[in-house]
Amino acid sequence: MMDQRGILGFLVVVCFILFHHDQYAFGQLSSTIEQAGLFSLRSSLGLRAKEWPRKVDPCTSWKGIMCRTQDGRVIGINLSGLRRTRVGRLNPQFSVDALTNFTFLDTFNASGFSLPGPIPTWFGEKLSSLRVLDLQFCSITGSIPASLGNLGNLTILNLSGNNLNGIIPTSLGQLSSLSVFDLSRNSFTGFIPASFQSIENLTVFDISSNSITGPIPPSLGTFRSLRVLNLSRNGFSSSIPAQLGDLSSLVDLDIGFNSLSGSLPSDLRGLRSLQKMMVGDNALSGSLPDNLFATLTQLQFVFLRNNSFSGSIPDLLWSIPELRLLDISYNDFSGVLPNLSSSANASAAVFNLSHNQFYGNLASEFRRFSFMDLADNYFQGRVSEGPYRNSSLKGNCLQKVESQKRSEDCSSFYASKNLTFDNFGLPTEQPSPTPGGSSKSNKRLRYVLVGVFASLGFILVLIGLLVLCLCIFRRGAPDQRGRGVSPAPVGAESGSPSAVGVSIDYANLGEKFTHAELQKATGEFSDLNLVKHGHSGELFRGVLENGSPIVVKKIDVRLAKKDSHMVEMELFSRASHTRLVPFLGHCLDHEHEKLLVYKYMPNGDLSNSLYKNVRNEDGSMQSLDWITRLKIAIGAAEGLSFLHHECSLPIVHRDVQASSILLDDKFEVRLGSLSDVCTQEGDNQQNVISRLLRLPQTSEQSASSSPSATCAYDVYCFGKILLELVTGKMGISASSDTNTNEWLEQTLPYISIYERELVTKIVDPSLIVDEDLLEEVWAMAVVARSCLNPKPSKRPLMRYILQALENPLKVVREDNSNSARLIKAASSRGSWNAALFGSWRDSSSDIVSTPSQGGNREGSSFKQSFTAGSQGSAQYNVYDRSSSNKKFSRDIFPEPFEFPATERTNVN
């Protein structure tokens, strides 16, 4: 089956062939006016000379330019896939005035090419020959100019995925030749104009994901050539017009996620070519017409979920030969399942019948399907032995199956149907126990019990006294600075770093969701919505009833670290920052299952976004450009700097890796994976037993062998993330195995403050950087190395790392006069250079420590190699102080203000 995008692409190709035939050969450009227009367009859009070079014929050598063979006139311009220069990327605009020079322009395609700004009004006045206008995902703003209705030759109009708003102009009804009309994923309001009924040749009509309201116009039934009709995710109300059944060529019908009411009209049986029926998430009700599916033999996907349909399922629906997916969940369907083996495509079919009122016994045939969700119905009896990987049976009345309904609920349901419930295969009355034993035996038992409880009471009193003494000792014992040691926060585990605080302010903790709401939003926590298995819980994507995308963390408290969800909730209740992942709410109703709700991040995390799933022409993956990588580094540093320096007590993240750096739709950073946060360890927070026994406790690892609870540990892990951004090698921040250590040992020698060219040997080859950008890459590599100093006390504070990343050229350039200093010099702890680099600059014998336990734990070490032998026979000492490019510390960085002694002590 062709999906909607496939159909649209097919139609575009067909249009090209029909309209241009053999004219799309590459002739030589003949018009000097058009040549000047192309160079003007190249300049206004800031296109790279590599793709539109000078001194060559544009018709034969410029990407995306199509000319007619007979007269060399430009008839097609395709900007899709072209890239701007660095200057052009800084200020992109919808600047295409030069298009007025092309009298015969037939096609203008800029899909995916950023053109922020409104569509020029003159488009409809000066481009009268235009047949194809494709501006999807171009960041366009404003409204559609009414003048576009003058483009009488237009056959394809695609404006999807932009920021357009306002109403759909009535004048577009004049486009009588229009075949493809796509305004999806914008912010249009109002109604579908009545003038559209005059467009007779439409094959694709897509206005999904807008805010269009009112009833669905019955006039849509006059589009007899229509193959794709998508009105989903709007505000349509009233009933489904029966006239839609006249669309005999329709392949894809999607009217889901609206407010439609009434029943499903039997007239839809006229959709004989229909392959996809999407009417879910509305307010439809009533039973399904028995004859509806008699003629719909091509159906492959049927979505009726989340309505109020009732009654039984027509037998014809089960037996559609091409049926691949049937989702009728969250309705009020009832009855006994028919013999499903009649489905010709049974082995590949997926059925979701959950959250209905089906009942009776289950035949073994349901195991033959690819997947079958029968959860939350009233099936009873026994099922055949074996695993249930291809099915979900929870919430029923089945025997010997986990997570079933209560016996009272099952009995009540079957009684309402005048049927008998089998009581899970158990007898209805349990025999009473046989009385036995003499009074003498009972008396002896009472004596034994009294003795046991007395002993337990004595032990509990001793334990209470011991705890009281320890608490008094902790309150009164001064630390090395003469301050009293405060008690451990509530909820902190014994022997582990202290939690963020002592209580949770639920008033500042988002919305309280019900378990049913989140089940519905995530499709019953379906595997299809599973994002990943996190170390503290499973993450599922979902959509709330208001259309807001979310991510739900499902935590099994029996498997997760004790009270880890409380630590995270406590952080969100007391700390608020734009660099933390937005926390929307929670559900703590179940004893063993806790649910935390976050805002959905469209670009996932850094580990899966550095290389996008968009392949270039040569088959390679498209990677993030340097500007975006630097933006991500600065954003992550801002988040960590907030935790380390702006909270009342320094907070340590303890899980800083690429998968913890979440990215929104604009690649702005939001820190996630916050279940391990804690306040920073210090002498006053050491474990009580460690102090009593005088046990050593290093700054790199806590007593509980958990990741080190110091800010310096976060800095070390952040250094590995910076290396990932520079080199493009993912997985470094999440690993500490031998291979990672060896890679660091081979890579770090190529990072030198004295020699820029060395870093080019480790830079991600997919990065395209000019001279200025290369200096920024070099600077980030230098900062990364300073973060990886083996001595925690020599690693820079996160606030200074942030300053360095915000001013990368000052890290590596020599012209740092007093007026160019980042912060006024007043340091009693050394220069800015020393703050950022510690002692690694001055020593070639340091050992780089890398974590040995878990993804980010320090412990093992390896010696650095300071030669670049793999690049040639000559060995180059990157710390050679006799280098002609040598820079002294005060020439490299301006000095910051004074370092408070307590801050530097905290990171040890």
Separation of alpha carbons 262 and 658, rounded Å: 49
Please name which of 223, 202, 136, 205 lies closest in space to residue 168, comparing C-alpha atoms: 205
Separation of alpha carbons 214 and 189, rounded Å: 10
End-to-end CA separation in angstroms for the chain: 61
Separation of alpha carbons 908 and 891, rounded Å: 27
Residue 719 CB coordination number (10 Å):
24
Amino acid at 463: I
Q: Is 567 within 8 Å of 533 (Cβ atoms)?
A: no
∠ CA(434), CA(436), CA(437), 5° rounding?
Answer: 160
Separation of alpha carbons 536 and 263, rounded Å: 44
Which tokens belong to 622? 């498209």
Separation of alpha carbons 678 and 653, rounded Å: 7
Which tokens belong to 100? 């007025």
Distances from the Cα of 284 to the Cα of 212, 231, 287, angstroms: 19, 16, 10
Residue 714 known to be catalytic: no
* Burial 203-215, CB ≥16 within 10 A → b, else e: bbbbbbbbebeee
Q: Is 139 within 8 Å of 79 (Cβ atoms)?
A: no
Which tokens belong to 879? 């710390």
Residues in the chain, total: 908
Please name which of 333, 336, 394, 385 lies closest in space to residue 364, comparing C-alpha atoms: 385
Please name which of 406, 362, 417 lies closest in space to residue 386, comparing C-alpha atoms: 362
Which tokens belong to 724? 């990932």
The one catalytic residue among 252, 327, 605, 655: 655
Residue 194 CB coordination number (10 Å):
11
SS3 content of the chain, % helix, strand, coil (to 5): 35, 15, 50
Q: Is 698 within 8 Å of 765 (Cβ atoms)?
A: no
Distances from the Cα of 750 to the Cα of 661, 845, 878, angstroms: 26, 16, 7
Which tokens belong to 253? 């019908």
Q: Is 202 within 8 Å of 181 (Cβ atoms)?
A: yes
Distances from the Cα of 895 to the Cα of 445, 793, 810, 830, angstroms: 80, 18, 12, 8
Please name which of 823, 841, 736 lies closest in space to residue 782, comparing C-alpha atoms: 841
Please name which of 786, 776, 802, 795 lies closest in space to residue 638, comparing C-alpha atoms: 802
Active site residues: 655
